Structure 1
Amino acid sequence: MSEAPARSRLIVLAGPTAVGKGTVAACVRDQHPDIWISVSVTTRPARPGEIDGVHYHFISDEEFDRLVAEDGLLEWAVVHSAARYGTPRAPVEEHLAAGRPALLEIDLQGARQVRKTMPEALMCFLAPPSFEELERRLVGRGTEGPEERERRLRTARTELAAESEFDVTIVNTDVQTACDELVDLFRSGTSRVSS
């Protein structure tokens, strides 16, 4: 028996720092090419292994300012007190208009903005199995120094408290399982959970 096709809809995937949003989104990208994944813009430099246009579009502060001024971003935020991130508006609107399922992998601030601008989007919170596991993942990726790690962990505690703002929660115990659960949301047509 074949899988049901992914339905045309917008799902927003958000969660605390180091929970694995990018890893889960990469799994969806690799295994389900029918689901379009928005590539955010950022003013931060690329981390080792990141590819421009795949992981992010790495742009200058001036280019980011231009996008903001022209209302070219669906959402944007300053993250971890330095870099700015945003979701280009036009590609999201174009893919949805063409009937393609679309996934935004963004931070909590961005998810709140999308909730206001696109209330039909399904908001999915990616949670860690525990705070200790989140801390282990953050330390394990080795991309931040001790001060930045502590700042991100403080932010993560606040971000975890926002879970109730979301329609659905997926616990990222295992990347493949989280990926499958996320794709199931596209295939099943699960709608907003009533409060």
Structure 2
Amino acid sequence: MRRIMIKMLFYTFFVSTLTILQVGCVKKKDTNNIITHKEEKKRPKPIQKVGDFSQTRVVSWLGHNVKITTERLADKDLSLVQDENGNKYYDNKIILKIHRSDGSIFLERVFYKSDFSKFIDTSADKTTALLGVVFDRVNGDHLLFAASVGSPDNMSDEFIPLVLKVTKSGSLSIYKDTQMDTNDGSIQKSEQITEEDEEGV
């Protein structure tokens, strides 16, 4: 009887000890296996381009055919601009060339956003890019081009519509196109330069 009791006590002690050891191992195992995940830093997007673009048109003007070429190129020498989400873009330059019918150059000019600065708020200078200068139409003795400065984000519709006028003597004037802002559909020309032209193409 005594032996049986000793065996039972030993068995109870053995089971209890084994249970304690198992719990201790589990706790120790849990403690050693704590895995920490480092938060990955978001990599900034590379500097983007609005997109290079070119347009060539041959139009009849003052009795002659002229070839008009406009080209938009990202200029890495200019200050960077950014959209409303903080993405950075290269600003653009616009190259305008007008060739006479004999191939000679009537006008060649490179435009930068600074050429349109009088129409841009100082606060918006860092968030706008020169978006384009494209041929619009012939208007009597003048060639009219649509120009715009605005958000570099192609999905945005924020821009300032401008008109660039080339006279038959090759002089230029720029004014804000307010046609969309008037109820009667008339164009109110602000900052327009009026000139008397004697020479032709």
Normalising by structure 2, we get a TM-score of 0.22
Comparing both structures, which one devotes a greater share of its residues to strand? 2
Higher relative contact order (CA 8 A, sep 6+): 1
Comparing both structures, which one devotes a greater share of its residues to helix? 1
Normalising by structure 1, we get a TM-score of 0.22
Larger Rg: 2
